[in-house]
Structure 1
Amino acid sequence: MSKTKNAVSAELDTPTDLDSAAVTKVSAALNTLLADAFALYLKTKNFHWHVSGRHFRDYHVLLDEQSAQILGSTDQLAERVRKIGGNTIRSIGHIAKLQTLEDNDEKFVPPREMLRELMEDNKKVAAAMRKAHKVCDDAEDVASASILEVFIDETERRTWFLFEATRQEGGNEA
């Protein structure tokens, strides 16, 4: 296997039947998803910690459940990169370089705006997962594609719950 500047050190060079170009492409796609998972996790926890108002408990519990699910995906994504012989994220700085989702550092965000922002972020993550799935399919990496199928379903479920939580009484959108 030819080594590039992103090559895995010999001590960590996991054997795989995927060619080096496939490992590079799949690893890059999964690492971007991993960075976005960490960014979405932290934003979801931020909103969980700072939500207020009459639906506080419902939103607080919803965001706690969602953040736990998002964090749960990170180990599987990172380990998949390593299983195929790639390098994965090593620091907060590395996450910041790769993430595509915007952070939210506002002092106050109204609860409905929090949920809508998270809904849009989850939609972006689902779309990115579909693109990464195509990369995995092209590389004939069925295991990574299979993991992404589960994560796409979980992301769509989070999106749905966030959408429903932001609807006005009577069924109209917020």
Structure 2
Amino acid sequence: MTRTLQLAAATLRPRRAIPGQHMLDVSVTTMRVHPGDLDLYRHVNNGVYLQMMDVARSNFLADLGAFGLLNERGWYPVVASSTVAYKRSLKLWDRFEIHTRVLGWDERIVYLEQAFWRDGHRYARGLVAGRFLARSGERVSGPDVVALLEPELAAPELPEDVAGWADALGISYRA
């Protein structure tokens, strides 16, 4: 429940935008492992990683100053797909960072990487295929979202592993 409340706070009362922050810059969210994050094996439950990633994505949007712009248009983010690869276990009271960055986009999806770091070591890496919807129920294209937040930004080429992941799941844009 604490991560749900943390997400509500990050979304309804976002942190201040970072002057000069760009869409392709890394956004850093610092957290600490709480007792409610643990499973029976005394490390962070795999589902909690996804909740932590939700909070970090809200912080990413806040760092860009995006909430006002998105709200004006009635647009909001949703997850189309995600995957996480775990390398090390986060344990009770560990302090760590989530580094969130946009890897690229296509006509449908904005692709993000979210990496969990502690003491200079990567503990987990998440890939997220994010979509934006309008309150009317219509889908908003990736390029339209990017143009709103950072006009004239060219899409970088997706890393090969991310493009392969998107193709394998059938979430990438097909003309």
TM, length-normalised to structure 1: 0.28
**Which structure ranks higher in relative contact order (CA pairs < 8 Å, sequence separation ≥ 6)?**
1
Superposition TM-score, scaled by structure 2 size: 0.28
Structure possessing the higher radius of gyration over alpha carbons = 1
Greater helix content: 1
Larger strand percent: 2
